[in-house]
Structure 1
Amino acid sequence: MKNKTMLFFYHLLALTLTTIFLLPLFWMFSASLRPAGLPPSFGLNWLTSPLTLGNYTRIFEILPFARYSFNSLLVACAGVLLTLLTASWAGFGMSLLGRKDRLRLLLFSAFLQMIPFTALWLSRFLLFAKLGITNSYFSLIAPALMGTSPIYILLFYWTFRRTGRAIFESAELDGASLLQAWWQVAIPLARPALIAVGLLSFLYYWNDFINPLLYLRSQTLYTLPVGLLQLQEMDKTNWPLLMAASVVITVPALIVFSALQRALLSWNSEEVMN
């Protein structure tokens, strides 16, 4: 009886927290269905009539949101793939180093993580301008060549360290090269880290606003966050249009999150059964 009561309160708490987090999303979606020009509702009567889907077609008529969506998807996919590749390489290499070298790199990674991102804006812009890669997709995904963030590299490092160095050394004794040991042994064992880093890096590149604003000059290269800013500058008080654009930006992130969470839960259930 006691266990059932605790389970009931656990599910009740989980349902309450889920509702709290979903309410802003529901408010945003309901506000996007209001006629253009109306202010957002501040009461509980959110789904007021008349409801319309015209705001969604309108944002694609005002601005090239289809092109912005393609740009965001391209940058996010390329950034995720490169991040998974470089971060897993770096984490795998760190796990094979000696104790002193690992400690140096861990301290260096922690130091890099503490540097404010704003401190890199000017130096990175001057470097990209010197290389001639501004106003291009490459300027947006360039951080992926370095693992995007030190924390992503450390996630792979901790995963491979828990696996044990002996497994990789055994693969080398069997004739496998370092790349083969990374691909055939390390990566299959690092599926949770792959999912976590993939999700975090997707959200980073999908929601990136500063880099497109700094490096891009051509409208054909703009991403969705910059498109939302353009829409806001055109009419700051047209809340239904702004909420419709926000829904367009938010829904793909929710889909990716749900898919990766489902994959992680499926993998965990397989591990338990095995």
Structure 2
Amino acid sequence: MFSKLRRLEIGDWRFWLRLLATAVFLLPLIWLLTAALHPVGQPLPTSLTISFDWTLANFSRVWELVPIGRFTLNSLLVVILAVPLTLVTSSWAGFGMAQLPKASQRRWIVLSLAVLMVPGVALWATRFLLYSRLGWYDSILALIAPAFMGSSPFFVLMFYRAFRRIPLAIFEAGRLEGAGVLASWWQIGLPLARPTAVGVAILSFVLYWGDFVSPLLYLRSESRYTLPIALQLLQQLTPSDWRLLMAGAVLATIIPVGLFLLLQPYFARLGR
């Protein structure tokens, strides 16, 4: 009886600790939403206070000042194209690395880590010249071009680690049944690496959804701008109106947060 009560107390302690950690991470989102709903003409609170004097006027002003709908569609188009491409190319690279001899695997791991350490600012000028020569400047191809190479060496290493943990006997059995390289990747490797694929999909979604530098450097036409550029335009139009900027940030955050909530049942199944 005492042991059962003891386990219950430990379980309650962990529950309240998780609840406290969740509340800490949710505080910025709560403040963002309350600031976006703050009435026009009233100063923003300097402390964490709860007020129910809310208005939706800030959101309507955002739609009046910038074409937020078109920018949202542009961002959605970028992630719809870039995320699947990232999954395919990074998983191909990781799968190929996992099938190499150990000595070759070590060399490719070192090379991937070396590339990962290169700062992004060092690639801006080179990418600009390359996109200009290829005719990709001021097009969506300039935004999704990194996805053709896995977007990041980190994603490749994630898939490499996932495929490396699968016993080679499974792939050898598939080859005996007539499965080629692509069949082994699609029918054997990728289903077993599904948690890694979900993690890479989420990370690449966040990477492309919040990308501010690439549209700023490689796009010229306003009709192709994405949501991060819309937030910058709002800040330039009304630099002192933080309610307006917070309303735009809420509109830019709705889709990632909604996607995360929709994937919660899947995350719960993975944790079992």
TM-score class, shorter: over 0.9
The corresponding residue for 1:239 is 242
C-alpha contact 1:55 1:244 (8 A) present in aligned 2: yes
The corresponding residue for 2:209 is 206
Where does 1:183-194 land on structure 2 (aligned, <5 Å)? Answer: 183-194=186-197
Q: What is the total number of aligned residue pairs between the two structures?
A: 268
TM-score under structure 1 length normalisation: 0.94
The corresponding residue for 1:167 is 170
1:63 partner letter: V
The corresponding residue for 1:45 is 49
The corresponding residue for 1:254 is 257
How much has 1:267 moved relative to structure 2? 3.4
CA deviations 1:35-54 (Å, max 9, x no partner) are 234332123333242x2112
Q: Which moved more, 1:30-39 or 1:239-248?
A: 30-39
Where does 1:114-129 land on structure 2 (aligned, <5 Å)? Answer: 114-129=117-132
2:183 partner letter: Q
2:255 partner letter: P
Where does 1:25-174 land on structure 2 (aligned, <5 Å)? Answer: 25-49=29-53, 51-174=54-177
**C-alpha RMSD over aligned residues:** 1.3
In the alignment, does 2:269 pair up with 1:266? yes
C-alpha contact 1:91 1:154 (8 A) present in aligned 2: yes
Is the partner of 1:6 in helix, strand or coil?
helix
CA deviations 1:104-158 (Å, max 9, x no partner) are 1000011111111111111111111111101110100100011001111111111
Distance in 2, Cα, partners of 1:198 & 1:258: 15
C-alpha contact 1:31 1:46 (8 A) present in aligned 2: no
Unaligned runs of 5+ residues in structure 1 are: 270-274
Is the partner of 1:94 in helix, strand or coil?
helix
Unaligned runs of 5+ residues in structure 2 are: none
The corresponding residue for 2:183 is 180
Distance in 2, Cα, partners of 1:259 & 1:79: 20
TM-score under structure 2 length normalisation: 0.95
1:189 partner letter: L
Is the partner of 1:97 in helix, strand or coil?
coil
Distance in 2, Cα, partners of 1:30 & 1:59: 16
Distance in 1, Cα, partners of 2:42 & 2:252: 21
Amino-acid identity (%):
44
Distance in 1, Cα, partners of 2:122 & 2:41: 40
Distance in 2, Cα, partners of 1:215 & 1:11: 47
